[in-house]
Amino acid sequence: MKRIYFSISLILFAVSGFAQWTTLSSGTTESLYSVFFADPNTGFAVGSNGTIQKTANAGTSWVALTSNTTNSLNSVFFTSTNTGYAVGDYGTIIKTINGGTTWTAQTSGTTWGLSAVCFTSTNTGFAISWGGEILKTSNGGSTWTIQASGTTNSLNSISFTDANNGYIVGYDKAIFKTVNGGTSWTALDTTGFPFSNLMSVYFTDVNTGYIAGPQGNSILKTINGGTSWTQQTNGTAVGLWAVYFTSANTGYALGNNGIILKTINGGTNWTVLSSGTPNFLQSVFFTDANTGYAVGGLGTILKTTGGVGISEFNNTENKINIYPNPASDLITLNIDNKKNADLSLTIYNEIGALVKSETLKQNQKQVSIKDLSNGVYLVVIKSDEFTESRKLIIQK
């Protein structure tokens, strides 16, 4: 193994470099079921009782829009900054062409609740229902045609990789695939699936895709276009409601109790991140590799601007020494804590997961790191007056 040594005596590292999630003020206490950004600044979240919230400043503030419906809205999708669609209970489909200022009801042809909507082009889009129906439009929603899927079970999620290749998942192990732009759909063999309720699907290319569900430890992966699926170990028994990938290797899954999971190796390993909320999370959307949003119960909107990596800055106001560095079993902290007040210590790994938390009651304290594996970590020291952070290498 190549050994890396460097000094950190004068360099502090920012927490923002890690994939942390911050709670935003959403302006509502209604449950939010779907989030979508039309551009890096303009985003929409929809939810119960016809709720639509919009941000024009990357989530800094959100305002309520008038949807002209009291039906719950379960999914939102925009084809441009101005043109978007939301679907919901009782066959509700509404469309805006002015960035959400006004919404117009469209005729869906069904009274089943619609769970998801997506578009593959400006005019071609799909919606799926709790009654197993697949709705398709080729004219920007002016008309919708109902396609038979072969099931009456609820269909819950839809994902297209391009104009031709798409997947739909639902209850009772339902998976459907199209290779001709939704002209026809084929049921895939799901014999032997370890769980039956499939809530979310996301494909990173025509062959590689992921499914998440509300039954514990339920993430599946395919690398052959859905011919076969492998269950992935994610280290939690909490039900999952959404899965989303920002690249071939980096992805997120989220669900009950504010759970957020992250992988940076295509699902081989999943790490639990701290979301800071106990509310369920049901939808996630990223505008770039690092900037993402998640929504859920009681108006919850979370944002992350961190990715894998650590940003650094100079700061000499408070002197913190950590040694040895690299370290193996123990680190010693020497902190210029003039008030001798209690301090908190937290350690995060490279993808932002909290791995250790302790209270420091002395200016100097030894902390055991025997339970941490080799890698790069961020040590954060907080008091009522300051927050300082240091990069730490563990090498055994």
Q: What is the pLDDT, as a whole number, of residue 124?
A: 98
Q: Half-sphere exposure (CA, 13 Å, Cβ side) for 115?
A: 25
SS (H, E, C) 19-37: CCCEEECCCCCCCEEEEEE
CATH of domain 19-304: 2.130.10.10
Q: Which positions of the chain have pLDDT values less than 50? A: 1-18, 307-318
Say if CB 137 and CB 161 are below 8 A apart: no
Token pair listed for 167: 């997947």
Helix (H) or strand (E) holding 380: strand 375-382
Say if CB 44 and CB 36 are below 8 A apart: yes
How does pLDDT run across 365-386, given as a tens digit for each residue? 789 999 999 888 888 888 776 6
Look at residues 61, 166, 140, 71 and name the one whose alpha carbon lies nearest to residue 112: 71
What is the value of pTM for the model shown?
0.76
Which sign, positive or negative, has the C-alpha torsion 215, 218, 224, 225? positive
Rounded CA separation 342/359 (Å): 7
Q: For residue 341, which phi and psi values (nearest 5 degrees)?
A: -85, 165
Q: What are the domain boundaries of the chain?
A: 11-15+310-394, 19-304
Helices and strands (H, E) in the chain, number of each type: 0, 37
Print burial letters for 144-173: b (CB count within 10 Å at least 16), e (below 16): bebbebebbbbbbbbbbbeeebbbbbbbeb
CATH of domain 11-15+310-394: 2.60.40.3080
Print burial letters for 211-242: b (CB count within 10 Å at least 16), e (below 16): bbbbeebbbbbbeebbeebeebebebebbbbb
